[in-house]
């Protein structure tokens, strides 16, 4: 996809227009921009601000409040491991440690080949079948060491 500054400006402005009829359109706009680019490109902030009649600082303030919105692109696959209590009761900590050791990254880190970003998540609602992981949008429950290996291999880590 050609990604000149003009393309970006046009595309982000179109996203803002498409959401203009909503009450409180900011989160839907940020989600849509991130769905398009994989993160919120810095120049998008000014365009979103202008379209919504707020300052760039306000848009940045909103974006940075939420764990979901990224300022940098993520790896090709995002793997989120649940860190919350119910998964901890089922071995979630060990799973997380194994994942970090295998990938050689800490939380929020991306492998050097750009294949995988590892994120913590606090609850996927899979509390009766933990430890739970979500690979992009695909949920996986009762994850053991072998399943983790398979997930990481498939993601090309």
Contact positions toward other proteins, by CB under 8 A? 22-28, 30-31, 52, 61-62, 65-69, 84-90, 121-130, 132, 134, 137, 139-142
| 104: its two tokens | 């050689």
- C-beta separation of 116 from 110 below 8 A: yes
Separation between Cα atoms, residue 130 and residue 88, nearest integer Å: 8
* Closest separation in Å from C-beta 36 to other proteins: 15
Q: Which is nearer to other proteins, 3 or 119 (CB)?
A: 119
Nearest to 122 by CA among 83, 65, 78: 83
Q: Which tokens belong to 87?
A: 């998964």
Question: Cβ of residue 150: shortest distance to other proteins, in angstroms?
Answer: 13
Q: To the nearest whole angstrom, how small is the minimum distance from the Cβ of residue 2 to other proteins? A: 28
**Nearest to other proteins of 90, 117 (CB atom):** 90
Shortest separation between residue 113's beta carbon and other proteins, angstroms: 26
* Maximum pairwise Cα distance, the chain: 51
- Of 91, 71, 74, 69, the C-alpha closest to 82 is 91
Residue nearer to other proteins on the CB measure, 6 or 21:
21
């Amino acid at each position: 996809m050609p990604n000149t500054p003009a393309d970006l400006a046009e595309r982000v402005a179109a996203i803002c227009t498409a959401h203009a009829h909503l009450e409180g359109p900011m989160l839907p706009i940020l989600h849509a921009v991130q769905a398009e680019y994989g993160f919120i490109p810095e120049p998008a902030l000014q365009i979103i601000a202008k379209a919504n009649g707020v300052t760039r600082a306000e848009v940045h303030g909103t974006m940075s409040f939420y764990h979901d919105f990224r300022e940098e692109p993520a790896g090709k696959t995002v793997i989120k491991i649940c860190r919350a209590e119910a998964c901890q009761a089922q071995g979630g900590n060990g799973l997380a440690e194994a994942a970090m050791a295998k990938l050689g990254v800490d939380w929020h880190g991306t492998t050097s080949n750009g294949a995988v970003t590892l994120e913590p998540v606090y609850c996927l609602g899979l509390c009766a079948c933990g430890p739970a992981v979500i690979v992009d949008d695909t949920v996986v429950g009762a994850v053991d060491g072998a399943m983790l290996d398979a997930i990481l291999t498939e993601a090309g880590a």
